[in-house]
Chain A
């Protein structure tokens, strides 16, 4: 609990300062709603916002899990030989550069309105960091250990499961941390076009010039991002604390 205090202080300072700046008329409330108005909206519209948050969470989480599984699998495949890596890695980069908004109408045609488009969007946006980091981790396994596995005649699958993947864990977890935040963004972008969840709330509130509600929804989205981040940190602690410097 004590570790949370340093993070809470900037939040309180910014909140109080913002409230004061709007109250004193330095910032216009229709451009930047005061925190108190956002809080009021959050309380008043809680049932609607909570239902939206639940949908967005489901979409982001599913997209994230697919990215994690797919990203690690693709990285393992890419690491199997240099030729495969050279042939396919450029296409993995495609996921990082695809302007999701531009292909949005197509996503809707391929996956239909609703959850599947949201999951697809979260997946597309978040898979690349998992691929890149996992691949980097696998490829930078300590050569001395690799030689030892070879000397003892370990099979390729034993080398993968007992050496390369465990050795890559710190990088895999870094990839997952980045992917978590991106999955939330991807889900919300997907919701702009697929029509549900916090993305839809933001879209509608924006049309109605309800900046307070936009911020309430954005705040919930960041809470979701933080929760995902916290979850991955927990995983990371459990997996790495016995042997890796980053968690000791």
Chain B
């Protein structure tokens, strides 16, 4: 058969379809912060081995990963467990798949010289920089009240105000900012937020409910790849750290190694990424008591044990 112009024109849609398919097989994983050890396992993962072509999208302050998943602008995203519950309560069907941090790495960092003994002490004087919108902040307010401390917005990872003012306390990741402060010559004390019983899973891989139902295979493969990746990262963080340091030179190589080491205890579990119904239920009732959600949803809708 001669390949006529008509044949050619007929073949265009088919070629287009192929092109579209090969493009669609590239899946996106959106981070909610810049590449740092908190995401080490994602950079250590060998996605190709699991038949996936994954594009990791670094984020920044306030990257709305949970809404990006709902909008379909990413297939997978990194969120915190409380975000999943809030999102679901608003009709954004997002499902958690894999929890990197088994325990909340959020903490409050103070100058050691103040000799404070508990998180309650932090709220008795000085200034506290936190994200007031976060559930833990409101739990703190409910428990201890904010009338004696001056609450100001969190400066992210910036330590300028903290280093400048001894009575300044700041929200932090327990394994990151305290290390930076010590490097700058300030002795610090850190109170983990889990001290007040608020302990959501964080750095959680989540996916849209629709995609999960239509293509649960893809989700299974991604979770397997991510689990292998985290195992590899926990065993030897160096290769992925090098990759991430190139993408985010604001953290030096030594800090990468130290943070990766410090966070191990918050991550190790059997199997890695595991989540339980009880923990989701506890979190949901906490959010309900804060008035953030109206009803405690069935836990099995919020996360999928793969």
Binding site for B on A (CB under 8 A): 28-31, 104-106, 108-109, 113, 192-195, 200, 203-209
B133 contacts A203, C-beta separation under 8 Å: yes
Stretch from B64-72, B215-223, B295-303 that touches the partner: B64-72
5 contacts between A and B (CB under 8 A): A195-B151, A204-B133, A207-B134, A208-B133, A209-B86
0 or 1 for each of B110-143: is its CB under 8 Å from A? (1 = yes): 0000000000000000010001111000000000
Any chain A CB within 8 A of the CB of B87? yes
The answer on a CB contact under 8 Å between A207 and B133 is yes
Chain A neighbourhood of B151, CB < 8 A: 195
CB-based contact B160/A28 at 8 Å: no
> B residues near A, CB below 8 A?
62, 64, 66-67, 70-71, 83, 86-87, 90-92, 127, 131-134, 150-153, 155, 158, 160-161, 164, 292
Query: Are B160 and A209 in contact (CB-based, < 8 A)?
Result: no
Q: Contacts of B134 on A, CB cut-off 8 Å?
A: 207
Point out the residue from A29, A203, A208 that lies within 8 Å of B153, measured CB to CB.
Answer: A203
Task: Give the residues in chain A near B92, CB-CB below 8 Å.
Answer: 28, 30, 209
In the complex the two chains form, what is the Cα distance from A203 to B134 in whole Å? 10
Q: Report whether B158 and A105 are in contact in the complex, using a CB–CB cutoff of 8 Å.
A: yes
Q: Which of A31, A109, A194, A205 has a CB less than 8 Å from the CB of B71?
A: A31
Interchain CB contact under 8 A, B131 and A113: no
Cα distance A192–B264 in the bound complex, in angstroms: 33
Alpha-carbon distance A207/B83, docked complex (angstroms): 9
- Does A209 contact B150, Cβ atoms closer than 8 Å? no
User: Interface on chain A toward B: helix, strand, loop, or mixed SS?
Assistant: helix
Which A residues are in CB contact (< 8 Å) with B133? Answer: 203-208
Q: Are B87 and A30 in contact (CB under 8 A)?
A: yes
The 10 closest A-B pairs by CB, nearest first: A207-B133, A204-B133, A105-B160, A30-B92, A195-B153, A113-B152, A30-B90, A195-B152, A105-B158, A208-B133
Cβ–Cβ contact B87 & A200, under 8 A: no
In the bound complex, do residue B70 and residue A207 qualify as a contact, i.e. CB atoms below 8 Å apart? Answer: no
CB distance from B274 to the nearest CB of A (A): 26
- A56 → B minimal CB distance (Å): 15
Cα distance, A106 to B92, chains bound together (Å): 38
Q: Are B91 and A30 in contact (CB under 8 A)?
A: yes
B164 touches A109 (CB 8 A): yes
A30 to B67, CA, bound (A): 8
Q: B residues within 8 A CB of A192?
A: 153
Residues of B within 8 A of A194 (CB): 152-153
- Say whether B87 contacts A109, CB under 8 Å: no
Contact of A208 among B127, B150, B292 (CB under 8 A): B292
B9 to chain A, nearest CB (A): 33
Of B131, B150, B161, chain A has the most CB atoms within 10 Å of the CB of: B161
Bound state CA distance, A75 and B164, in angstroms?
Answer: 36
Q: Contact between A206 and B153 (Cβ–Cβ < 8 Å)?
A: no
Question: What 6 additional pairs, Cβ within 8 angstroms, besides A108-B152, A194-B153, A200-B153?
Answer: A31-B71, A105-B160, A192-B153, A195-B152, A200-B132, A207-B132
Minimum CB–CB distance for B251 against chain A, Å: 18
Q: Which of B71, B91, B153 has the most CB of A within 10 A?
A: B153
Q: Do B127 and A207 have beta carbons less than 8 Å apart? A: no
Q: Are B127 and A209 in contact (CB under 8 A)?
A: no
Collect the chain B residues with CB atoms within 8 Å of residue A31's CB: 67, 70-71
User: Do B83 and A108 touch (CB < 8 A)?
Assistant: no
Chain B residues near A205: list those with CB within 8 A.
Answer: 133
Judging by beta carbons under 8 Å apart, are B67 and A193 in contact? no
Chain A proximity of B242: nearest CB distance (Å):
28
Q: Which residues of A contact B90 (CB under 8 A)?
A: 29-30, 209
Give the CA-CA distance A31 to B73 in the complex, in Å. Answer: 12
Beta-carbon contact of B153 and A209 below 8 Å = no
A106 contacts B160, CB within 8 Å? yes
Known A-B contacts A193-B155, A206-B133, A208-B292; A28 and B71 likewise in contact (beta carbons under 8 Å): yes
In the complex the two chains form, is A193's CB within 8 Å of B71's CB?
A: no
Q: CB-CB < 8 A to A108: which residues of B?
A: 152, 155, 160-161
Contact A209:B161 (CB < 8 A) given known A31-B70, A113-B150, A204-B132: no
Docked complex Cα distance between A22 and B241 (Å)? 44
Contact B86 A208 (CB under 8 A): yes
Q: How far does the alpha carbon of A200 sit from the alpha carbon of B160 in the complex, in Å?
A: 20
Establish whether residues B132 and A209, one from each chain, have CB atoms under 8 Å apart when the complex forms: no
